[in-house]
Amino acid sequence: MADLKTCPPLTRESVIDAHALIKPHIHLTPVLTNTTLSTLASLPRDDPSYPQSLTHLLPSPAPARYAQPTLRLYFKCENFQRIGAFKARGAFHAVARLLAHDPSFSPAAGVVTHSSGNHAQALALAARERRIPAHIVMPDVAPQAKVRATQGYGANVVFSGPTAAERMEVAGRVVEETGARMVPPYDHPDIVLGQGTLGLELTEQVKGLLQGKQDKGLDAIVTPCGGGGMLSGVALSQEGTGVKVFGAEPNHQGADDATRGYHTQERVRGVRTLTIADGLRTELGDVTYPLVCGRERGLVSGMYAVSEAEIRAALRLVLERMKVVVEPSAVVPLAAVLFNEEFRGMVEREAGPEGWDLGVVFSGGNISLEKVAELIAP
Amino acid sequence: MADLKTCPPLTRESVIDAHALIKPHIHLTPVLTNTTLSTLASLPRDDPSYPQSLTHLLPSPAPARYAQPTLRLYFKCENFQRIGAFKARGAFHAVARLLAHDPSFSPAAGVVTHSSGNHAQALALAARERRIPAHIVMPDVAPQAKVRATQGYGANVVFSGPTAAERMEVAGRVVEETGARMVPPYDHPDIVLGQGTLGLELTEQVKGLLQGKQDKGLDAIVTPCGGGGMLSGVALSQEGTGVKVFGAEPNHQGADDATRGYHTQERVRGVRTLTIADGLRTELGDVTYPLVCGRERGLVSGMYAVSEAEIRAALRLVLERMKVVVEPSAVVPLAAVLFNEEFRGMVEREAGPEGWDLGVVFSGGNISLEKVAELIAP
């Protein structure tokens, strides 16, 4: 990875610079609105017109009163990003920085990472497009489809045993043998700054949509939080603008490490969860923890966690009502908006009757249709 | 329906006027590109890198040579339109014309149609938004979900027997009893002009995307063809611009009535097909037949038909690669682009090595997730 000494400072300015670097390589993904979902988000859950199909998600015991926020939602569709997920941003940025700003980087030796997820394909694509080699360490139990997709981008896939230690060991050997540079999936400033670029686009796009209606643009953004790369990048992208940034994560088997860390100010480690939001199983890292949970800069305004059933319900709503294919991790912010009473109560209090124009990030759409069928089964 | 005497002429100018009328009520749906699909469309089918999963679709007997067109695809996503399909355009236009230009129309009496598909919901929505009543005649065997969705838009659903004659009879009775005006699903100038507005947006949007790269914009557009309302409207929207317009339809059980009519110059009637592209089971009508198949004005430059297997394959590709939910009817144009050798050979000849920038219309996304699971099953 780029030597930390060569990294730009973690500021909004650096996100703007990152955007200029990666713009030729990424899609300006569309921002969609949906009347049905904005209406549903603005409905208290005991309203007579609340869909019966969702009442099994009501919290127990029932609160004294269900929140009634007013929300206009704007969905940033990174499921339409190259490789089907926002990870293309960080990978293109990391590779661009190595090539342009790290004299010790050898383009002929290329880059390496260990991932069987979206980061693997993102780095493979970025490397191919910048004409450098990519070595991707994958567990030998990874699905053939993911292996082939990564090879399809021209990467050299190297297999390891299934544990993290085994993957690290193999990656270390690749570095030693080839001189390739490690590009981690989230815990690095170049990755954080790259992912944050979607926040810049989102606020600009919504300003365009609201032109002539109001001037202020978005009030807030809510993003998924796994390792925290995207959340901290988006938070940086809005620092000083007045746009609040919130994070959402699953709570299954302790996956809500960032929410707990945010409230207790103690970093949670050793998370092991099999939440269906498989992109969010990781915990915050050394770079991302202080950005997400640190109180000095106040980059993140709140963290909220949701259940597996709430994620499934949000997934079905997005597929059926918005007609877009998203992976379970991608709908975690929407699940918080629709079903987390704490989040909804906070919006009601802070936004008042005017309500909020709220950006909601769909992080990716890499899910097999067979998996969709399984997840939406009653 | 608006008296034919009060209808504007079937010209590009009238499509532009229609757009001004309906613009406040419809979504400017996004135009998406997808590198994987444009690459696949430009690959001859015997190329070594052609996906093995699609080789079962190869024509038999094999042609002497597979076509090798160069295609850059631009997808107009009417699955993101209000009510999830382009039909909102025609319905809003028909209602706006009745209100503004037909002194004999009684707003208090409202409108009526018979449909269990997208037109039912489109008319219900348009009527609600313009504050007039809507009566929708549906067969008593219609799925509960469709009935509820239509009632959800505030329409009065009236049940009939399942045959066309029974539906017509009940609709006639509603007209007699309420004085409501009939708004047919496609065979009327106001509907044709309304649907055509998507063609105006598509060419403008692609011009924006291509800015700085080339000036000419789209070379051609391909749309689905069922009753022919959208195809003839889009063709009108491009008349005199140099942009060619093609139609695509299923060939299952004789559903390719427009393709046959186009070639033989004889109108095909009595189509009865259960193609999975259920929005395209209808045949051309009195208004649309001459627009689609007539040779004098040359509005449509060609008609192409595809098999059920080709529609399924295109559906899977769009869901998996583009991450958008579409109904089977919506992918019929893409199926022609990818799999119809006649279409592909024509593009190769006409476009030459420069290739074409081709607009491909996704007409709608109203499909249940259970149906998706069924259609993509191996």
The distance of B46 to chain A (nearest Cα, Å) reads 18
- Paired tokens of B269: 């009637």
- Paired tokens of B305: 């038909």
* pLDDT cut 90: percent of chain B above it: 85
CB nearest A324 (choices: B82, B316, B324) = B324
AA letter at B278: D
CB nearest B325 (choices: A35, A84, A325) = A325
Phi, psi of B79 (to 5 degrees): -65, -20
Q: In this model, does residue A1 exceed pLDDT 70?
A: no
Q: Which burial class, exposed, middle or buried, applies to B55 when counting CB atoms under 10 A from its CB (0-12, 13-18, 19+)?
A: exposed
Please give the average per-residue pLDDT across B112-132, as a whole number: 94
From the list B38, B115, B116, B232, the catalytic residue is B116
Phi, psi of B345 (to 5 degrees): -65, -40
CB nearest A32 (choices: B35, B80, B368) = B80
Q: What pLDDT, on the 0 to 100 scale, is given for residue B2?
A: 60
Mark yes or no for CB contact B320/A369 under 8 Å: yes
The distance of A62 to chain B (nearest Cα, Å) reads 28
Contact list, B376 vs chain A (CB under 8 Å): 369
Which chain A residue lies closest to B317 (C-alpha atoms)? A369
Q: For chain A, give the mean pLDDT.
A: 94
- Paired tokens of A353: 């009757």
Mark yes or no for CB contact B365/A323 under 8 Å: yes
- As a whole number of angstroms, the longest Cα–Cα distance in chain A is 65
The distance of A315 to chain B (nearest Cα, Å) reads 11
The distance of A89 to chain B (nearest Cα, Å) reads 17
- Reply yes or no on whether B329 is catalytic: no
- Within 8 A by CB and 6+ apart from B264, the residues are none
Contact list, B369 vs chain A (CB under 8 Å): 316, 319-320, 372-373, 376
From the list A38, A42, A76, A87, the catalytic residue is A87
pLDDT tens sequence across B306-329? 999 999 999 999 999 999 999 999
ipTM: 0.85
Contact of B201 with B76, CB cutoff 8 Å:
yes
Mark yes or no for CB contact A35/B82 under 8 Å: yes
Q: In this model, does residue B3 exceed pLDDT 80?
A: no
Q: In this model, does residue B345 exceed pLDDT 80?
A: yes
pLDDT tens sequence across A324-351? 999 999 999 999 999 999 999 999 999 9
From the list A14, A38, A116, A237, the catalytic residue is A116
Q: Is A127 left (phi over 0), alpha (psi -120 to 50) or beta?
A: alpha
- Within 8 A by CB and 6+ apart from A114, the residues are A136, A137, A138, A160, A167, A168, A170, A171
Contact list, A324 vs chain B (CB under 8 Å): 323-325
- The C-alpha atoms of residue A215 and residue A202 are separated, in whole angstroms, by 15
- How far, in whole angstroms, is CA B357 from its chain's centroid? 20
* pLDDT cut 70: percent of chain B above it: 99
Please give the average per-residue pLDDT across A100-125, as a whole number: 94
pLDDT tens sequence across B287-298? 999 999 999 999
- The C-alpha atoms of residue A78 and residue A234 are separated, in whole angstroms, by 13
Q: In this model, does residue A3 exceed pLDDT 80?
A: no
Q: What pLDDT, on the 0 to 100 scale, is given for residue A214?
A: 85
The distance of A224 to chain B (nearest Cα, Å) reads 19
Q: For chain B, give the mean pLDDT.
A: 94
Contact list, B326 vs chain A (CB under 8 Å): 323
Mark yes or no for CB contact A320/B368 under 8 Å: yes
pLDDT tens sequence across B249-298? 999 999 999 999 999 999 999 999 999 999 999 999 999 999 999 999 99
Domains in chain B, start-ordered, CATH in brackets?
Answer: 31-80+218-376 (3.40.50.1100), 87-182 (3.40.50.1100)
Q: What pLDDT, on the 0 to 100 scale, is given for residue A376?
A: 82
- The C-alpha atoms of residue B260 and residue B267 are separated, in whole angstroms, by 8
Which range, A145-154, B226-235, B363-372, is most confident?
B226-235
Mark yes or no for CB contact A32/B376 under 8 Å: no
Please give the average per-residue pLDDT across B351-357, as a whole number: 96
- The C-alpha atoms of residue B306 and residue A348 are separated, in whole angstroms, by 52
Q: In this model, does residue A216 exceed pLDDT 70?
A: yes
Mark yes or no for CB contact B372/A368 under 8 Å: no
Q: Which of B377, B321, B328, B264 is nearest to B41 (CA)?
A: B321
Q: Which burial class, exposed, middle or buried, applies to A247 when counting CB atoms under 10 A from its CB (0-12, 13-18, 19+)?
A: buried
User: Which residue, among B52, B153, B323, would best test binding to A if mutated, counting the most A CBs under 10 Å from its CB?
Assistant: B323
At residue A2 the predicted structure's pLDDT band, cuts being 50, 70 and 90, is: low
AA letter at A179: G
Contact list, A53 vs chain B (CB under 8 Å): none
Q: What pLDDT, on the 0 to 100 scale, is given for residue B115?
A: 86
Count of residues for chain B?
378
Contact of B339 with B304, CB cutoff 8 Å:
no
Q: What pLDDT, on the 0 to 100 scale, is given for residue B75?
A: 98
CB nearest A376 (choices: B35, B80, B369) = B369
- The C-alpha atoms of residue B267 and residue B286 are separated, in whole angstroms, by 10
Q: Which burial class, exposed, middle or buried, applies to B216 when counting CB atoms under 10 A from its CB (0-12, 13-18, 19+)?
A: exposed
The distance of B319 to chain A (nearest Cα, Å) reads 7
Q: What pLDDT, on the 0 to 100 scale, is given for residue A80?
A: 95
pLDDT: which is higher, B215 or A344: A344
Contact of A148 with A127, CB cutoff 8 Å:
no
Mark yes or no for CB contact B373/A373 under 8 Å: yes
Contact list, A35 vs chain B (CB under 8 Å): 82
Q: In this model, does residue A5 exceed pLDDT 90?
A: no
Q: What pLDDT, on the 0 to 100 scale, is given for residue A314?
A: 97
pLDDT tens sequence across A359-368? 999 999 999 8
pLDDT tens sequence across B54-81? 989 998 889 999 999 999 999 999 999 9
Contact list, B368 vs chain A (CB under 8 Å): 320
- The C-alpha atoms of residue A151 and residue A310 are separated, in whole angstroms, by 35
The distance of A171 to chain B (nearest Cα, Å) reads 30
Q: Which of B72, B40, B30, B28 is nearest to B320 (CA)?
A: B40
Pairing label, strands B71-77, B31-32: antiparallel
pLDDT tens sequence across A115-131? 878 999 999 999 999 99
At residue A162 the predicted structure's pLDDT band, cuts being 50, 70 and 90, is: confident
Q: What pLDDT, on the 0 to 100 scale, is given for residue B331?
A: 98
- How far, in whole angstroms, is CA A6 from its chain's centroid? 25
From the list B87, B115, B146, B232, the catalytic residue is B87
Which chain B residue lies closest to A377 (C-alpha atoms)? B370
Please enumerate residues of A whose Cβ is less than 8 A from a Cβ of B.
Answer: 27, 30, 32-33, 35, 79-80, 82, 84, 316, 319-320, 322-326, 365, 368-369, 372-373, 376
Pairing label, strands B181-182, B111-114: parallel
Q: What is the radius of gyration, based on Cα positions, of chain B?
A: 20
Mark yes or no for CB contact A319/B325 under 8 Å: yes
Q: What is the DSSP letter of A26?
A: S
Residue with tokens 């980059």: A299
Q: Which residues of A283-292 are buried (b: 16+ CB within 10 A; e: fewer)?
A: bbbebbbbbb
CB nearest A325 (choices: B35, B80, B323) = B323
Q: In this model, does residue B334 exceed pLDDT 90?
A: yes
Contact list, A32 vs chain B (CB under 8 Å): 30, 80
- The C-alpha atoms of residue A263 and residue B122 are separated, in whole angstroms, by 48
pLDDT tens sequence across A242-295? 999 999 999 999 999 999 999 999 999 999 999 999 999 999 999 999 999 999
- Reply yes or no on whether B160 is catalytic: no
Count of beta carbons in the 10 Å neighbourhood of residue B361:
27
Contact list, A30 vs chain B (CB under 8 Å): 30, 32
- The C-alpha atoms of residue B281 and residue B263 are separated, in whole angstroms, by 19
- Paired tokens of B331: 């992918």
The distance of A34 to chain B (nearest Cα, Å) reads 9
Count residue pairs from A and B with Cβ separation < 8 A. 53
Q: What pLDDT, on the 0 to 100 scale, is given for residue A274?
A: 93
- The C-alpha atoms of residue B162 and residue B167 are separated, in whole angstroms, by 7
- Paired tokens of A38: 């904005």
Contact list, B312 vs chain A (CB under 8 Å): none
Please give the average per-residue pLDDT across A127-153, as a whole number: 92
Contact list, B319 vs chain A (CB under 8 Å): 325, 369
Q: What pLDDT, on the 0 to 100 scale, is given for residue A46?
A: 94
The distance of A88 to chain B (nearest Cα, Å) reads 14
Q: Which of B354, B352, B338, B258 is nearest to B299 (CA)?
A: B258
User: Which residue, among A323, A366, A376, would best test binding to B if mutated, counting the most B CBs under 10 Å from its CB?
Assistant: A323
Please give the average per-residue pLDDT across B106-123, as a whole number: 94
Stretch (H or E) spanning A192: helix A189-210
CB nearest B316 (choices: A32, A369, A376) = A369
CB nearest A316 (choices: B80, B316, B369) = B369
